[in-house]
Amino acid sequence: MDKILTFGRYLFPLSFLLYVGLHFGMPEVGASFIPTWLPAPLFWNYFTGVLILAYIISCLIGKYDKLATLLMALYVLLMIFIVHIPRAATYENDMLNIFRNLMVIGALLVYAQYATKDKRITG
């Protein structure tokens, strides 16, 4: 049973590969979520993809994984306020994105507390 549960430590960050694939495989879609007041939407799309990939690598190797997970939770929270709340008035799917992102934040915080290896950051 412990081996199955340990697998979750790797499965959870690897699930974010879907977002990396979307950011690099369909950059126009990711860029379309960037608010119009931010310049260079393609830059922000690729930059975000690189940061998500850095989060995944940090978790897999166990270096600064708690910090990376907390920063990922902050990123997802920012996406709620910068992207999804403004869009929720016109796109009904963005209300679902808000709820999904809140669940992801909760999972990230639990992961940071119980699954990360790097103990340099303590609560």
DSSP for 32-56? HTS-TTSS-HHHHHHHHHHHHHHHH
Mean pLDDT within 7-26 = 95
Question: In the chain, what percentage of residues exceed pLDDT 70?
Answer: 99
Rounded CA separation 83/34 (Å): 7
Lowest mean pLDDT among 31-40, 72-81, 84-93: 84-93
Residue 118 pLDDT more than 90? no
Between 91 and 8, the higher pLDDT residue: 8
What does pTM read for this prediction? Answer: 0.91
What pLDDT, on the 0 to 100 scale, is given for residue 90? Answer: 87
Between 8 and 44, the higher pLDDT residue: 44
What pLDDT, on the 0 to 100 scale, is given for residue 123? Answer: 62
Structure tokens at 81: 């306020």
Q: Read off the pLDDT of residues 20-56 as tens digits, 9 standing for 90 and up.
A: 999 999 999 999 999 999 999 999 999 999 999 999 9
Mean pLDDT within 7-21 = 95
